[in-house]
Amino acid sequence: MSNDILKKIRAYFQMEKECGIHEYLLSPKKKDDLSLIKEEVTSCRMCGLSKMRKNVVFGTGNTKARLMFIGEAPGYEEDIQGRPFVGRAGELLTRIIEAMGLKREDVYISNILKCRPPQNRNPLPDEISHCIKYLYGQIDYIKPQVICGLGKFAAQILLETETPITRLRGEWHKCRGIRFMPTYHPAYLLRNPGAKKLVWQDMKKIMKELG
């Protein structure tokens, strides 16, 4: 994602804040129940992606997970199956989770966007601003001990920063009061296998934190 898009997203959020628009916060009732949030996303028509989706990709896994992974947006395979990280990048993520001594069912996996952008293009500020409240609802409901942000996009959006992922990764941050570890995206690792050892270092920090 170019810094240009990030700047646009931040400017958009800034203007909404200044105008007192807080509609991206879910009602307290919604926050109490993940299935209510899922229902809302499933019928969401807030942006154009809803017209093109085959399925909403809400998130899967243990709703009491101590560890949550957050990616960018569904791709082709995810859109067809309605589940996150089930394509090639997903296979690698699954292997990483298993190497940590966990199963996919132990953790919770979701994305910033719940619908697939056409041709996997970068999410637009308008799409993020409508969709992020669902993720915040998921985080607040699950209250994991640790969140792992996968890739530049998830890290920069959730930490509200333009700092490059190369500098963000491997260090502990906070997101909605929760320990947040950014690392490289598994799709990036498929193109740059040499970066796997850095991601594995980051996963070891998470394993240590989880005990």
> Which residues face 183 on adjacent strands?
150
In the numeric block, the tokens 């709703």 are attached to 63
108 interacts with ligand URA by CB under 6 A:
no
158 interacts with ligand URA by CB under 6 A:
no
59 interacts with ligand URA by CB under 6 A:
no
69 interacts with ligand URA by CB under 6 A:
no
Q: Are 77 and 87 in contact (CB under 8 A)?
A: yes
- Overall size of the chain counted in residues: 211
Residue 20: burial class (beta carbons within 10 Å; 0-12, 13-18, 19+): exposed
165 interacts with ligand URA by CB under 6 A:
yes
- In the bound state with ligand URA, the residue whose beta carbon lies nearer, of 89 and 97, is 89
156 interacts with ligand URA by CB under 6 A:
no
Which member of 59, 61, 75, 144 binds ligand URA (CB under 6 A)?
A: 75
Alpha-carbon distance 154 to 134, whole Å? 14
Q: Which residue is nearest to ligand URA (CB)?
A: 71
Which tokens is 95 given? Answer: 């292997």
Site mask for ligand URA (CB under 6 A), range 169-208, x = bound: ---------------xx-xx--------------------
- 67-71 β-sheet, strand order: 60-61, 108-111, 67-71, 146-150, 178-183, 173-175
78 interacts with ligand URA by CB under 6 A:
yes
Residues interacting with ligand URA, by CB under 6 A? 71-75, 78, 84-85, 87, 89-90, 111, 151-152, 165, 184-185, 187-188
